[in-house]
Amino acid sequence: MLWIAIVLLCGTVKQLDATCQATGSHKASPSPEPELHDCPLYAKNACCSVDTNNKMSISPETASWNRCGPLSPRCEQFFKQLSCFYHCSPDTTIWANPTLSNHLLNVPLCHSFCDQWYKACKNDLTCTRNWNSGLKSSNATQTNCTSECIPYSKMYRNGRDLCESTDGDSFKVRSCNCLNMDKNDEQVIKALTLEDSTKVGANGKLPCREKRSIMNKLKLSIRKRSLFVEDIDGSGSGFAPTD
């Protein structure tokens, strides 16, 4: 009887986890969407439908990133990746904003992803640092700029600034345990959810333990020994002895 109870409990937990964000554009629970061609990364288990994918997620007519005109293809691809993640990934509930509905909080984006995003968009134009507060809604699907359009390179200092500013508190830049919006994210998220502390991921407490490799530790140890020997053989100050 105990074994049956455990099995039933595990099944219940699994079912609770298999949910999507409670917004108008998300399905109640994730399911396969074989025709999800614009967001293929989530086709096997998506919180968006093909209809949502075509009309809401990445449509240039409704996308906030096109307020200053069409972006270069490489730049726009990064926005599409993030839009697909928000609308289609079944894992966004981990980072659901507890105070702002329809928003995420502190999704860990890799530093390298943010740098590449910045590099791809630095010559494109934008009109606000924060789309959540800097764009004025004119109707249900349209937003307009409230200031002049300038290059991304003038609006943001670097990749970190771009990732952590453009969508409010949605993203947090990290150098490990982070997402690149690619197929490897699935394994990263699995690893993160094994840690108890990741249950409060929305509060930015995801673990990030970057450890030096054995070789780097060895190099550091040798360097410290070398400085110590030089100091003994020298004047005692660490500087070269003088006549």
Are residues 191 and 95 part of one domain? yes
Q: Are residues 179 and 228 in the same domain?
A: no
Distance CA 27, CA 146 (A): 33
What are the tokens at 25?
């554009």
Let me know whether 49 and 96 are in one domain: yes
Looking at the fold, whether 163 and 225 belong to one and the same domain comes out as: no
Residues 113 and 47 in one domain: yes
Q: How many domains does the chain have?
A: 2
**What distances in angstroms separate CA 100 from CA 8, 48, 95, 199, one per listed residue?**
33, 20, 11, 18
**Is 5 a member of any domain?**
no
Indicate if 233 and 123 belong to the same structural domain: no
Has residue 7 been placed in a domain? Answer: no
Do 99 and 199 lie in one domain? The reply is yes
Write down the pTM of the prediction. 0.70
218 lies in the same domain as 156 = no
pLDDT of the chain, 243 residues: tens digit per residue: 444 333 333 333 333 356 888 776 788 899 999 988 889 999 999 999 887 555 544 444 445 678 888 999 999 999 999 999 999 999 999 999 998 888 899 999 999 999 999 999 999 999 988 877 756 655 444 567 778 999 999 999 999 999 999 888 999 999 999 999 999 999 999 888 876 443 444 444 445 554 444 344 444 554 544 444 444 444 433 333 444
Alpha helices (H) in the chain, listed in sequence order: 2-17, 50-52, 73-88, 111-121, 131-134, 152-155, 159-165, 185-193, 214-233
pLDDT for the residue numbered 203: 44
Q: Are residues 143 and 193 in the same domain?
A: yes
Q: 3-class SS at 144?
A: strand
Which pLDDT belongs to residue 21?
83
Q: Is 141 within 8 Å of 63 (Cβ atoms)? A: no
Same domain, 69 and 187: yes
Domain assignment present for residue 4? The answer is no
Q: Look up the domain containing 196 and give its range.
A: 17-208
As given in the structure block, the two tokens for residue 172 are: 């947090």
**Number of Cβ within a 10 Å radius of residue 147:** 12
CA dihedral 221, 223, 229, 231 (to 10 degrees): -120
**Is 77 found in the same domain as 64?**
yes
Q: Given this model, what pLDDT does residue 45 score?
A: 94
Longest dimension (CA), the chain: 88
Residues 204 and 234 in one domain: no
